[in-house]
Structure 1
């Protein structure tokens, strides 16, 4: 495996499962990773929470969760899952902190 996979594994990604989801095609897996970096759902999530548009925030977080899950980026997946469940249940007392945790993990993967 290459440097890209090594970096993802160091981050905590389950690249074996992730690559299997992409039929072992490391190039496709990497391209999809970079599509995540350019995905607008993260910015939409932050903006919607700031504007208290929680339905919009839920949609963005749920879409982000799906992409992150397919890539098997466990730390980011865990963070976004917490936010999704809070938004789904309208438990919004800690949503800003939860989205901040998503942002923290998102920045880590962008740095890869």
Structure 2
């Protein structure tokens, strides 16, 4: 199975992402590689126990934007919700969303890294 088919199976809206880049699959794949590097730099653990969530919100917002631009839908939707929940002072709910998305996120990153 090729990378794009594998990503489709993981819920990534590949066709939408490629369309955003003028239909250029090669650029899309290159941008996915950049996305995985960014994810490693911006990742955070679900055990954030801190009353100042600004750093986490900032990282989650960056991940939301990058994943949205590439139509990495499961990641985009989860981080959109995490940002919303933290801004509404709901860290337990945000933690739950993060815990649920991490396995899918890791599968997506692994698929990209191993392509």
TM-score where L is the length of structure 2: 0.82
Which whole-Å CA distance do the structure 2 matches of 1:13 and 1:99 have between them?
A: 17
TM-score where L is the length of structure 1: 0.84
The unaligned stretches of length 5 or more in structure 1 are: none
- Of the structure 1 ranges 102-111 and 62-71, higher mean CA displacement relative to structure 2 is found in 102-111
The unaligned stretches of length 5 or more in structure 2 are: none
Which whole-Å CA distance do the structure 1 matches of 2:33 and 2:49 have between them?
A: 27
Give the 5 Å matches for 1:1-112: 3-39=2-38, 40-42=41-43, 45-46=44-45, 50=48, 52=50, 53-112=52-111
Which whole-Å CA distance do the structure 2 matches of 1:34 and 1:74 have between them?
A: 16
SS of corresponding position for 2:23: coil
Higher relative contact order (CA 8 A, sep 6+): 2
Tell me the number of residue pairs that the alignment of Structure 1 and Structure 2 aligns: 108
Which whole-Å CA distance do the structure 1 matches of 2:11 and 2:94 have between them?
A: 24
